[in-house]
Amino acid sequence: MPEASLRVELLAVTPNALSLIYAAFRQCYHAGFVADMWPKLLSGEVDREVQADFVSKVLESGHDSPVEHVCFTFAAEGISRACSHQLVRHRIASYSQQSQRYVTDSMDYIMPPAIARIPEAKARFEAFMQEVGDAYADLRDILVAHGRKSKANEDARFVLPQAAETKIVVTMNCRSLHHFFNLRCCNRAQWEIRALADAMLEKCKQELPPIFSRGGARCEMLGYCPESGKFACGKYPTRENLT
């Protein structure tokens, strides 16, 4: 039962993402039909730097709905069920998650860093993970022996902990991603989903910098912490302290 490590890969992005967002923004302010300019955008007749500059300036005004036309799809592994339960609470997204019905003899798991740093806590955690793995295997074998057969896994999995590793495919549009990053890149977010969000944000910045160069926790975009002083981490001043 090995400990798993986080891995995030970008699988797909809407083709011609920057040009598509540019066209969507232009349609909001353009008297003509953007389909007529689309070939020029794809051919490079309208320079990409011009497109990026226009998009960035409009985004600074607070108009961001056109970025919904572009989606990113990620594959993530080495996250716990505790993390995936937080992730799927973001509703404007699509998810395809590995089923625990297909866990077999071994169960990979995620160990919190706070536990890993304390030798006695780490030893107890690892011992319990082994106990869980053994219990899962024993229950599955017992259920098979009593005729449950192919359904044994789905009942034996009830003993698996939130630390159990899972794999998931996630698709979000750019606006949903910004909301996700605003919340989950915050220092107050739980450590594991923050690590996932940070890894996803880095992929987005590399792929589409005009949209994500200023992505992250809300304080990074605002220049101050929108939380009250009671909850602020101290990285930025709170709104009250600005006045």
Distances (CA, A) of 99 to 165, 167, 173, 231: 11, 9, 25, 36
- Of 140, 157, 184, 194, which one is the catalytic site residue? 184
The CA distance from 164 to 175, in Å, is 30
Catalytic residue status for 184: yes
Calculated CA dihedral for residues 7, 8, 12, 17, nearest 10 degrees: -150
| Contact call for residues 6 and 24 (beta carbons, < 8 A) | no
Structure tokens at 94: 């699509």
Q: Indicate which residues carry an active-site annotation.
A: 184
